[in-house]
Amino acid sequence: MNQWLSSAKVWARSVRRDVVALWIAARDRRTPLAAKVIAGAIAAYALSPIDLIPDFIPVLGYLDDLLIVPVGILLAVRLIPEPLMSEFRMFAQQRTRRPTGLWGVLAIIAIWAIFATAAAWWTWRKFNGG
């Protein structure tokens, strides 16, 4: 079970990297036109918050995430020349690294504090007749 879980994590990271790589490929002039169209569509679909089939629908909701995206990635990767795809994956790997700096943490905390303050103010005004 533990080996299966670690394999799933590696696969998920590679899918995320490949989606970013396809986004890069779709915007690169060296990518063939057919590959650009498919890569752009798959990357946009994978990164979009809107699903073809909403996730709350039992079984079918996750079917698009488990089939459409991986099959689309495989198709787009086959259409992109290997040297280019390797380059795009390298760029994607660099882009998907998470920043660990103090300023990033402070910015996230500040954003959450602003939203929490705004929500509290709105709630107070709504229920206290202000």
Of the listed ranges 97-101, 106-110, 118-122, the one predicted with least confidence: 97-101
Cα–Cα–Cα angle for 110, 112, 117, nearest 5°?
Answer: 95
For residue 37, give every residue at least 6 positions away whose Cβ sits within 8 Å of its Cβ, in sequence order, or none: 26
Encode pLDDT of 56-77 as tens digits. 777 777 777 778 888 889 999 9
Encode pLDDT of 23-38 as tens digits. 999 999 999 999 999 9
Q: How confident is the model at residue 100 (pLDDT cuts 50, 70, 90)?
A: low
Residue 51 confidence (pLDDT) above 90: no
The mean per-residue pLDDT over the stretch 88-103 comes to 78
pLDDT attached to residue 110: 87
Residue 11 confidence (pLDDT) above 70: yes
Q: 96-112 burial string, b = 16+ CB within 10 Å, else e?
A: eeeeeeeeeeeeeeeee
Please state, rounded to an integer, the average pLDDT across all residues of the chain.
Answer: 83
